Structure 1
């Protein structure tokens, strides 16, 4: 099935093109070593990952602030592991994490092949809930920045996906319409329902093995997107 009359493709960044889990793990390894945190790295990641996921859900729904997310996800992880650590070091680790995260730039397999295939025929854009100070660095350092015409972050707009305002803002900036646009992302709630509720066609990058309606277009690897475009 080919999607007709589409001119603009909006991508999510983290977990969709940029391999957040791998890059995040490498960042934690680096900052734990430099700050002499004597804790099993695997134990930390296993506990941290679901806590971080939940904090991002709370952040997306405006139940915690950016600062509460950055501190709370670490504090809760260390508490759950029974690891004694003071707030000064938690704040330092939080800052070091943001500073070094964009130093690691693994992309999902097929990212460059997909972007090279799409670029001649579509205008490509980014809509991300990530923080301004790191998203631009991630894209620049991973050498994908030049593929995209419009890059919209939630901090830029003041709301986060799935709020319709961020999609409307991105459409306006790209001079695109609901009918000639596609949204591609890994979060069913933020990317897919956010786009669908506005009438934007979406492709769900199903990296989480979620149960979604049969009517939803979905792929389990990036290059499968070519089937529809």
Structure 2
């Protein structure tokens, strides 16, 4: 059970509501084919997933810039599969990937049903480490923007999850209180620990059943959140 009566529900976006892996694979399929890059798309995407996660952790910890993230994750994958490609082409692919990614709009199973269930009962919000325009496009193109009262991202907040300041910023612009709020996300460190450390209750969307401490509230299906909210 949640600690108190909840009025505001904060969601992470990528990997929580918006199916990043599926949409990312479709974007890569489009741009690699467009530029005649002869690689096995399935292999490329399989290599990309852990590399991207590593770069986002570095970005989250302020160890790489946005530009280094976008270039480095692609450079590392091409190096891993021993595919020779120029830096100029990598930079072009990085830009095109960002352009095409929000054009695909697969959501996790149960997202719309859950949001329809929650919307009449709570104020809903987004807190994301993603980039402002891209995250806006994802919300708009997947037809879920209208569910959310506020969207906090690391660009407008000036801080990234799990930094306490991004949560304080989100509470401030949403005019909500930490005691009556809950954070839902897939990343244990950024979403769950980040929220708990500032006194916001949290539920982990644990689709892959990662082992976490017994006292962490978790679901592996979005509709199971109805048991808490």
Report the TM-score range of the alignment, normalised by the length of the smaller protein: over 0.9
- Provide Cα deviations, 1:139-185, integer angstroms capped at 9, x if missing partner: 00000000000100001111100000000000001111110100000
Whether the 8 Å CA contact 2:2–2:201 is kept in 1: the answer is no
Q: Deviations over 1:42-83 (max 9, x none)?
A: 111121111111000000000000000000000011011100
Q: What is the CA–CA distance in structure 2 between the aligned matches of 1:148 and 1:184, rounded to whole Å? A: 14
Counterpart Cα distance in 2 of 1:85 and 1:209 = 37
Alignment partner, residue 196 of structure 1: 196
> Is 1:164 aligned to 2:167, yes or no?
no
RMSD of Structure 2 on Structure 1 (CA): 0.9
| Structure-1 separation of matches of 2:125 and 2:168 | 13
CA separation in 2, counterparts of 1:29 and 1:64? Answer: 26
In structure 2, the partner of 1:129 is 129
Tell me what 2:62 maps to.
62
2:28 corresponds to 1:5: no
**2-side partners of 1:212 and 1:117: how far apart?**
27
How far apart in 1 are the matches of 2:98 and 2:126? 20
Unaligned 5+ segments in structure 1 are: none
* TM-score w.r.t. length of structure 2: 0.98
- 1:80 maps to which residue? 80
Q: What CA distance in whole angstroms lies between the structure 1 residues aligned with 2:131 and 2:55? A: 14
Q: TM-score, length-normalised on structure 1? A: 0.98
CA contact (8 A) 1:2 1:227 kept: no
Matches of 1:157 and 1:175, distance apart in 2:
15
Structure 2 unaligned residues grouped into runs of 5+: none
Aligned counterparts of 1:47 and 1:198: Cα–Cα separation in 2 = 35
Q: Deviations along 1:73-94, whole A, 9 cap, x unmatched?
A: 0001101110000011100000
Over 3 Å counting, the alpha-carbon distance change for 1:2 and 1:181 in structure 2 is: closer
**Could you say which residue in structure 2 is the equivalent of 1:104?**
104
C-alpha contact 1:185 1:192 (8 A) present in aligned 2: yes
Aligned to 1:22: 22
Which secondary structure state, in structure 1, belongs to the residue aligned with residue 152 of structure 2? Answer: strand
Runs of 4+ in structure 1 off by over 6 angstroms are none
Q: How many residues align?
A: 229
Q: Please say if residues 208 and 220 of structure 2, whose CA atoms lie closer than 8 Å, have aligned partners that are also in contact.
A: no
